[in-house]
Amino acid sequence: MPFQLAKHRQSAYALWPDVHFNSPKNLMDTRFARNQMVTQQVRAWEVIDARVLEILETLPRDQFVPRPYRQLAFADTQIPLSHGQVMMAPKVEGRMLQALDPQPDQSVLEIGCGSSFISACLAKMAGEVLSVDIYPEFTVGAAKILKGLGIRNVQLETRDGTQLDWLSQRFDAIVVTGSLPVYQEIYAQHLNIGGRLFVIVGEAPVMEALLVTRVAEDAWSRQSLFETGLPALVNAVRPRHFIF
């Protein structure tokens, strides 16, 4: 079933300005920094998948970073976005992509496009990507930058990623780019058999990255990948904390 594009109101946002590093020196510096990121951060965190490494080394990550933080594009850190959101650290992005391993004939659902860097990475690996974000600023910005890079297999919806009652199709891979304080079955229910879900579950100071695989119509397996931290998905269910 083809994805249905939402209608977005056009607006001007300054998060992803048209900046091109045209001078030979800037191009050389950027390529060197990107190579160092992959070599010293991503590979060192047990990312060995050749497709993932090639994408992270060739995709211009700096063009997805808001201008005030562009000097941090290849740093081993999360990068602030608007609305209290962040770009994941490169090594976390690498582990996530390696775990999901979408193939060229497969479909992916992304909950939370943010800067759209992960959207672009997934588009390079998968056949089609549906990316959902609650903030029009992010989906409009994503449409602009993805079009500028010639990436045409990502479709964008401005919707609440915690509500999927409008969505009937299943996917081969799903990634939730905000953490879930409490694990929710809603995402795994939208996997094809054999499909993989990447999600970060828990609350600070301890959150766990999980890979959930649908092994049968009514059965799923879970694999713990690593511990990390990430802002919660907007409107995600939170546990009740009792005060005695």
The CATH number of domain 77-228, selected from 3.30.499.10, 3.40.50.1100, 3.40.50.150, 3.40.50.300: 3.40.50.150
Q: Which residues contact 7 (CB under 8 A, 6 or more apart)?
A: none
Give pLDDT, residue 150. 98
Report the percentage of the chain scoring pLDDT > 90.
85
Give pLDDT, residue 12. 27
- Of 3-17, 62-76, 80-94, the one with minimum mean pLDDT is 3-17
Give pLDDT, residue 8. 33
Task: Give me the mean pLDDT over the 11-22 stretch.
Answer: 38
Domain chopping of the chain, boundaries: 77-228
pLDDT digits over 135-172, tens only?
A: 999 999 999 999 999 999 999 999 999 999 999 999 99
Give pLDDT, residue 25. 58
Give pLDDT, residue 19. 40
Give pLDDT, residue 24. 54
Question: Rounded to 5 degrees, what are φ and ψ at 50?
Answer: -65, -40
**Between 170 and 15, residue with greater pLDDT:** 170
Confidence category of residue 240, pLDDT binned at 50, 70, 90: confident
Three-state SS annotation for 122-186? HHHHCCEEEEEECCHHHHHHHHHHHHHCCCCCEEEEECCCCCCCCCCCCEEEEEECCEECCCCCC
Q: b/e for 71-107, b at 16 or more Cβ within 10 A?
A: ebbbeeebbbbeeebbbbbbbbbbbbbbbbbbeeebb
Confidence category of residue 27, pLDDT binned at 50, 70, 90: low
Confidence category of residue 129, pLDDT binned at 50, 70, 90: very high
Report the greatest alpha carbon distance in the chain. Answer: 63
Q: Which residues contact 225 (CB under 8 A, 6 or more apart)?
A: 95, 99, 208, 209, 210, 211
Give pLDDT, residue 74. 97
